[in-house]
Amino acid sequence: MAGTLEGKVAFITGAARGQGRSHAARLAEEGADIIAVDICRQIDTVAYPMATPDDLAQTAQDVEELDRRIHVAQADVRDRAALQAAFDAGVAELGAVDIVLANAGIAPMTLPGAENDPQAWFDVVEVNLTGVYHTVEVAKESLLGHGRGGAIVLTSSTAGLAGIGGESPGGLGYTTVAGGGRDRRP
């Protein structure tokens, strides 16, 4: 039986692992081809290891095993020109996009010894907010151009609903970008 996304193309940021890889595999299962972008390197204020080129290669393998095509690129969503180039190369190979999934994000709350580093605020705002803006901007012409409609999905966090990001600069930035949050303290 044909999947619900047969013939569609999905653009996914942060696709090397985690939810991004899972989205790539699930959409491919439904028949979509995938343009997969990830930074594949560390951002200094992030305490946990970020994705690697091997992770992105694993995403490619997972999609290809489902008999779908995938275009992978290492690009930073903060870098509009690099993201546009990655996107355009993907569209040249796979065709115009139907689905845009802005999933790339960081949570730079807890770097030991640097919990009060204001750089974490700037990094999380640049990745989780400006990066999402860039993702939609580089893709919107392609998505709107074919006139078939489509979907733009922006991943956020319940931190934006509940204000649970903590009080570090990165935590405040994370919560602010996710939607502001609501202070639940009594």
- Residues assigned a catalytic role: 174
User: What mask, x for binding ligand NAD by CB under 6 A, covers residues 18 to 57?
Assistant: xxx-----------------xx----------xx------
CB of 77 to ligand NAD, least distance (A): 4
Give 39 or 147: the residue with its C-beta nearer to ligand NAD.
39
| Cβ atoms of 5 and 30 closer than 8 Å | yes
Q: Which residues 6+ apart lie within 8 Å of 97 measured at CB?
A: 9, 10, 11, 35, 91, 139, 142, 143, 150
Nearest Cα residue to 45 out of 156, 130, 121 = 121
Half-sphere exposure of 83 (CA within 13 A, CB side): 25
Q: Which tokens sit at 10?
A: 């999905």
**Binder to ligand NAD among 117, 155, 164, 179 (CB under 6 A)?**
155
Q: Does 180 bind ligand NAD (CB under 6 A)?
A: no
Give the x-and-dash track for 3-22 against ligand NAD (CB under 6 A).
----------xx-xxxxx--
104 is an interface residue for ligand NAD by CB under 6 A: yes
Cα-only R_g, the chain: 17
84: number of Cβ within 10 Å: 15
Binding residues for ligand NAD (CB under 6 A): 13-14, 16-20, 38-39, 50-51, 76-78, 103-107, 127, 131, 155, 157
